[in-house]
Amino acid sequence: MRRLTSLMVVFILTAFLGAPAWAEEKAADQKPAASLEEGFAKLAGDTTKLKIGLWFKGGWFNDTQANPGNQFYVRNARPYFYGQLADKLGWRVSVDFSTTAANPVTLRDAFIWADYIPYNRVVLGQFLVPFTVESTQTWEVHMVNNSMVVNYVQIPTARDLGIMVNGKYETPVGDGKLGAGYDLAYVNGTGTNNTDNNSEKDFVARLWTTPVINGLKVGGSMVLGKGRTSATDITEKTRNRYGLYAEYLPTNNILKGLRVKGEYIQDKRWVTTTSFKNRFAHAYGWYATVWYKVDGLEGPFSVLNGVEPLVRYDFLDEAKEVKENDRNRTTVGVNYYFNKYSRLKLNYEFTHCDTALAKNSLAAADTVSHQVFTTEFEIWF
């Protein structure tokens, strides 16, 4: 009787005063993003599909060269909105809040896509330019930082405005797959959120194939274009880039968690700054990454599931024309996956720079040898 009376009192108080705080918190955990998506979809119409995602990267680093040498940071804080207006028509928009106070929000992706051509997709708007593999990946980049050559050659113009067509086809052959794919783009060539400043456009092409060897994928990419190097430049200068790529993901039981990936990239650009100026510089570099994700262990060893040790070596020479002007970096680390949407990264980097870099470097970072330790938490869904 006493228990029944207590339950009646709780019921009456809840009816008049509202749900208790713990009940509201529990209700708030019941996929609020899904409710938001459903609300947007209803406003847009019964045929509209909407998905909301997030890419977050933040952590702490200690750098023997930087000033201040250690600090907390947020590198990415990007909500994604994916919309589908019909079976073969959709759009995507993403913004980034991890910028400066003067420019707190930056538009990243803003494009529509159409799948009316069999095995092909047409994309129009601002998108990731399909040159190199690493610069077009998000969750698939397992290190804290991109390779030096990708940062130097491609990241400043990773996104651009234009039109792109891509497609792929694969068919089983024995125990493996035989397939191929391509990306073709025609873009302004001036980078993210920039209007065109000349009459030239960049042509971008990327081709890849999966031979019959299980888990092997190889390909190449290029950018052919011209552009003005400054507001006062009255002539367009050539800017060509080329890259080769290979990845091996074994599928047998013993090596299933092993991954090997590498790229070689070269770049030709007109240089107007530093002591090396008013001429073409030919840059090149490469990286090779190996990692192994532990999974499927049982018993007392199951605590190791989700651990991913990894190592990378990368190299960059900004200008073949300048002697003793290159740098190399070795990165060792380990990742831990809490689930398929989140992971913790620990990286230790040692960068060795040639002596001429401090005077002739065409990039602002890594002009002297130094070490960096970084711990980063990442979410992607």
pLDDT at 232: 62
Q: What is the dihedral of CA 25, 31, 35, 36, to 10 degrees?
A: 90
In total, the chain counts a number of residues equal to 381
Structure tokens at 39: 């609300």
Please state the domain extents for the chain: 31-380
pLDDT at 3: 44
Nearest to 190 by CA among 152, 222, 231, 219: 231
pLDDT at 198: 79
Structure tokens at 357: 């870099």
Alpha helices in the chain (DSSP H): 2-17, 21-28, 32-44, 148-153, 357-360
Q: What are 224-233's pLDDT values in tens digits?
A: 988 776 656 6
Q: Show Cβ contacts of residue 326 under 8 Å, excluding neighbours closer than 6 positions.
A: 315, 316, 317, 318, 354, 357
pLDDT tens, N- to C-terminus, the chain (381 residues)? 444 344 343 333 333 333 333 333 333 344 555 565 565 555 556 666 888 999 999 999 999 877 778 899 999 999 999 999 888 999 999 999 987 656 678 899 999 999 999 989 999 999 999 999 999 988 899 999 999 999 989 887 889 999 999 999 888 877 677 899 999 999 998 888 888 877 889 999 999 998 878 889 999 999 998 877 665 666 778 889 999 999 998 877 778 889 999 999 999 988 877 667 788 889 999 999 999 999 988 889 999 999 999 999 999 998 888 887 889 999 999 999 999 999 999 999 999 988 778 777 777 677 788 899 999 999 998
CATH superfamily, region 31-380: Porin (2.40.160.10)
Q: What are 208-227's pLDDT values in tens digits?
A: 998 878 889 999 999 998 87
Confirm if 154 and 132 have CB atoms less than 8 A apart.
yes
Q: Show Cβ contacts of residue 352 under 8 Å, excluding neighbours closer than 6 positions.
A: 327, 328, 329, 369
Cα gap 165→205, rounded to integer Å: 10
Residues paired with 240 in a beta bridge: 224, 268
